[in-house]
């Protein structure tokens, strides 16, 4: 399992400090200028659709790809001039799996953990056994999910202050995903900073107290998970027949915004309104009596995924 030691507190409250971090590939902006502080002893969820910049951001943090602009500091070490120092402070589980097929899982772990602290391999082996991985099995016989678990074990074993986990639960069944989430939460309680990217909004809500949302290489939202869940519970969506006009929707949106103080977004034959309170009936009574009648009304049961989709218009989650 992950290191049993609890990291001693330092004078710095933030384990990761990012300022103006930018990445361009030619004319394509993979990551727009980003400022971010991540605290010690916390788990931050990094979410967004494919191609949003999540993996690029993580690779920038450890110097695997060069930044076009900006600065990164991890546990007091700056990326510029101290890239090796950062990698000594960070354990990284990449989203892309690279494994030697002829190696056993045990030898693969030993390879991945070369140069780490003396107890790292033993901790990785213990974690692999907990997850039910056959250490003597060869990597080429492992499923995609099993290979990902090997990478997860290697990332959770070193005694470092920061872990970056890129889609660690992809391809895992719900039980294994739950175990991974539990281990990540335990790691943060020991004082580590964990940045976890995921497409599973449920597990993000379970173990992350903060969510950073990227779309198109840009920061869309950075909020406490509890605040996001409250916003999701106050999200009202109205769906209409396809022949509803944009003028009719705009009139309804204006009424919701004016009477209920709602943050409203107009979609295709639908309105999404983030209400300022829980009085949905008052909001509905304020709609024009001669307006189109919704075919479906939903309130109080939206997920975080639906919140991002309906309020920010981001598809592909």
> Which residues, listed in sequence order, are joined to residue 73 by a DSSP beta bridge?
17, 78
Does the domain at residues 230-312 carry the CATH identifier 3.30.70? Answer: yes
Residue 211: closest CA among 83, 49, 69, 38: 38
Around Cβ 28, how many Cβ atoms within 10 Å? 8
Here the tokens at position 48 are: 């967004």
CB 158 within 8 A of CB 116: yes
Distance from C-alpha of 173 to C-alpha of 176, rounded to nearest angstrom: 5
At residue 282, the pLDDT reads 86
Stretch(es) of the chain classified as CATH 3.30.70: 230-312
pLDDT per 10-residue tile (average), the chain, 317 residues: 41 85 96 96 93 93 92 86 74 92 97 94 97 97 95 97 95 91 94 92 88 93 91 90 93 80 84 83 89 93 82 70
Distance from C-alpha of 5 to C-alpha of 190, rounded to nearest angstrom: 7
Stretch(es) of the chain classified as CATH 3.40.50.300: 14-216
- What are the DSSP calls for the chain, one per residue? ----SPPPP-S-SEEEEEEEEEEEETTEEEEEEEEEEEETT-EEEEE--TTSSHHHHHHHHTTSS--SEEEEEETTEETTT-HHHHHHHEEEE-SS----TTSBHHHHHHHHTTTS-TTHHHHHHHHHHHTT--TTSBGGGS-HHHHHHHHHHHHHSS--SEEEEESTTTT--HHHHHHHHHHHHHHHHTT-EEEEE-S-HHHHHHH-SEEEEEETTEEEEEEEHHHHHHHHHTEEEEE--TT--HHHHHHHHHHHHHHH--EEEEETTEEEEE-SSS-HHHHHHTS-TTSPPPSEEEES---HHHHHHHHH-----
At residue 260, the pLDDT reads 53
Does the CA dihedral 32-37-41-42 come out positive or negative? negative
**Contacts (Cβ under 8 Å, ≥6 apart) of 225:** 45, 204, 205, 208, 209, 210, 211
Side-chain-side CA neighbours of residue 185 (13 Å): 14
Here the tokens at position 261 are: 């103080």
CB 213 within 8 A of CB 222: yes
Residue 196: closest CA among 208, 205, 187, 209: 208
At residue 105, the pLDDT reads 98
Q: Which CATH architecture has domain 14-216?
A: 3-Layer(aba) Sandwich (3.40)
């Amino acid at each position: 399992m992950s290191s049993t030691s609890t990291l001693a507190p330092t004078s710095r409250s933030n384990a990761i400090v990012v300022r103006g971090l930018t990445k361009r590939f030619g004319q394509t902006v993979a990551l727009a200028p980003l400022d971010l502080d991540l605290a010690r002893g916390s788990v931050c969820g990094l979410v967004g659709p494919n191609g949003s910049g999540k993996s690029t951001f993580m690779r920038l943090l450890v110097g695997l790809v060069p930044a076009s602009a900006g600065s990164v500091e991890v546990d007091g070490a700056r990326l510029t001039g101290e890239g090796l120092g950062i990698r000594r402070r960070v354990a990284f589980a990449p989203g892309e799996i690279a494994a030697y097929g002829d190696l056993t899982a045990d030898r693969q772990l030993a390879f991945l953990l070369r140069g780490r602290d003396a107890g790292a391999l033993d901790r990785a082996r213990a974690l692999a056994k907990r997850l039910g991985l056959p250490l003597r099995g060869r990597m080429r016989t492992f499923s995609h999910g099993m290979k990902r678990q090997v990478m997860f074990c290697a990332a959770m074993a070193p005694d470092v202050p920061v872990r970056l986990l890129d889609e660690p639960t992809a391809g895992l069944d719900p039980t294994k995903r739950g175990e991974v989430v539990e281990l990540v939460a335990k790691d943060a309680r020991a004082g580590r900073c964990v940045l976890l990217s995921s497409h599973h909004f449920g597990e993000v809500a379970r173990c992350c107290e903060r969510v950073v949302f990227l779309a198109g290489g840009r920061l869309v939202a950075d909020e406490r998970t509890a605040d996001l869940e409250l916003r999701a519970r106050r999200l009202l969506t109205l769906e209409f027949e396809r022949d509803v006009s944009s003028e009719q929707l705009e009139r309804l949106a204006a009424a919701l915004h004016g009477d209920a103080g709602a943050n409203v977004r107009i979609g295709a034959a639908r309105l999404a309104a983030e209400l300022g309170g829980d009085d949905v009936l008052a909001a509905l009574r304020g709609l024009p009596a001669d307006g189109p009648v919704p075919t479906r009304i939903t309130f109080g049961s939206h997920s975080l995924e639906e919140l991002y989709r309906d309020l920010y218009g981001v598809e592909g989650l």
